[in-house]
Amino acid sequence: MRDAIAYRADTIACDLLGDPNKRLSNTEKYVGETGKIQVTTEGKYAGKWYDFSTGQKGDLLSLAQRERGYSFFEARNI
């Protein structure tokens, strides 16, 4: 399941966080004016995220839980 979600990391990240900061983004998507949240969308770490302002990190399931207030079971359906 996590692999299937990581495969769609780019789309899911945009749905959860909005459009990436194009100036800062390449294979990772940086959200916000200063790129405070990084979501890796390709390669070995696809689907992983890191919030530079809080130090929180995880996979896209935990990002959906954090950003939308979803339970684990709700996040599985993203």
Read off the pLDDT of residues 18-77 as tens digits, 9 standing for 90 and up: 887 777 666 666 666 556 888 888 888 999 999 998 999 999 999 999 999 999 999 988
Task: Inform me whether the pLDDT recorded for 16 exceeds 80.
Answer: yes
Instruction: Please tell me the total number of residues recorded for the chain in this structure.
Output: 78
Separation between Cα atoms, residue 21 and residue 23, nearest integer Å: 6
This prediction has a pTM of 0.80
Domain count, the chain: 1
Give the DSSP H/E element, type plus range, for residue 7.
helix 2-7
- Domain that includes residue 47, residue range: 2-75
Kindly provide the b/e burial profile for residues 18-33, where b requires at least 16 CB atoms within 10 angstroms of the residue's own CB. eebbeeebeebbbbee
